[in-house]
Chains A and B, each alone.
Chain A
Amino acid sequence: MDHPKRSRRRLAIAIVLVFAVVSVFVGKLVDIQIVRADELDKQSYDKRAIAVTTYAPRGSITDSNGTVLADSVTRYDITASPRNINTDRAATTVQGFADKIAAISKQDPSVVFTALTQHPDADYSLVSSAVTTAQMRAIVKLDLPGIYYVSHPVRTYPDGSVAGNLVGFVGTDGPQAGIENMYNSCLASTDGTTSYEQGADGVQIPGSSVTKKAAVAGGTIKLTIDADLQWFAQQAIAEQGTAIGAQSATAVILEVKTGKILADADWPSVDPNDVSATPAANRQALSFSAQYEPGSVFKGMSAAMLIDTGIGSPTMEATVPWSWKTPEGGRVNDAGEHAVERLTLTGVLQQSSNVGISMMGIKVPEKTRYDYMKAFGLGQKSAVNFQGEASGSIQPLPWDDQTKYNVLYGQGVSATALQVAGIYQTLGNNGVRLPLTLVDSCTKPDGTVTDTPSTSGTQVIASSTAKTVVNMLESVVDSGELASVTKIPGYRVAGKSGTAEVASHGVYTNDRIVSFVGLAPATDPQYEVLVTYTKPTTMKTSAAAAPTFKKIMTQVLTKYRVPPSTTPSTYPATTW
């Protein structure tokens, strides 16, 4: 009160100062809360929020019983942040780190040591890749500061090379072969993303999880294959293939009434777990990709043409020398020299006489034969449309003077093993050719089923013709040259052998492709087995393939509990 003026000035200054300070704060507040609010909000969210890629597994491939042939499992990459490796807490040296990790991941300790120390200031270094869950847990248990792990899915094939030729494999760049590649759209999964906010201790803040995109698992492909049967067939052809020194072999087992491929064995076959161990040529399904001149197994089809057109009959007669000069001046020979024989068409099949089938089959016009061959599925890919499948080839009309005889016994024409199997499926199924199926269905995780194959067949020959031909083919197994190695006690079996010459550079060589195909039970065929060996060295006749046929067919009949035939084999007369 003594100095009112001074006092008032002081007050004024104080007020001005207070206002100045307050306005600075207000200005800053407005700037933070309103002007830059969005930007700052985002920055802070980004610090708290963790975006995570969520993985869904690639779909599995199973056999017809659900046995897993291909599956996705999780593997872990062990990574390090060399900057953060703290040896104090772990009370050991970096070398000690490396030794411990290497012992678990079965690596060279020096490699691990290099990974940990090469770039001491780096934040990331890959220590070991694709370790198993057990190894990852053991490494985590070591509790080494600065060591982390990243999970990622990998493909595994529990049955190894069983059906490896069909299943295919997935490489680092994605699916590369077989079903894995063909049905990738069904099997592939879609990665999702999710984000959540975390506190300082890394615990998720409740209610903060936001799924931006859900991960979608891949669908399951179910094959028509039976894994056990597939293994048996692979084992059987591998054993015999090794014994006769063959280059490769295939075995096909079909369910005649449905066209389902129950087994499709190739030897050698790839183990999808270790693709590099198999030469590139053997990484595919030979039964689909390899086309060859099938040889005498074609005679069954030629006989069917003769009977179906009404030109021939099971007892059609011919006088058959072992070597015959054709009217055009060419020559047709049988496999071995024999006396002149009076064979019926049935006898021609039983003896597998090239001369006999040429003499008779030539009576069917070329155009008709060509159309029949097309109708039997030759010269076109099967309904499976397998990766790398060959379509085989029929020479275009008109045929030259030799080809028109050769095609009757399966030379001068090429087919895949599956095409040959298709011919006998048609004969066994009352003349109705069904589309062959390898993939039964694709089932998506939500239960929708897609990729179910077509089952509509086409009538190629009359039902009666088919039955007659199958009956005639019983003569081969019952009393033909290979009867002793093909007859299955208790069952009536129809079959046909093939010993085809392999052409190279336009001439037939000494190499052979031997095969045997058969149907059982012959009275009402249920199953078909085709066995083929390419270029055997120690045994170059179909006698090499016949025992494997018998072994596999016996297994099939036992496995599927086919009742024995109640009557012995009877068939039309073979001679006259």
Chain B
Amino acid sequence: MSQNVTAMSKRSLYVTVAILTIIPFVALAIVPTYVRTNPEVGGLPFFYWYQLLWLFLAAAFFLAAALLYNRYGGE
């Protein structure tokens, strides 16, 4: 029983970590969602600031995945 629980949580850990890692890839790979000028921020077209914003978001998603995995997934 307890072994089942570990196997289950191991699996959900892998799934969570995989999803966290993949989100930035998917968001940026759907290029047409950000091929536009408006809304601008300080005169900077959407195309530029949206991707700049993703640098921060990607770091946040990756860090969450790394911390989870380092804590519960072994090395």
Decide whether A and B assemble into one complex. Answer: no
Query: Hey, which bits of chain B sit against chain A, CB under 8 A?
Result: none
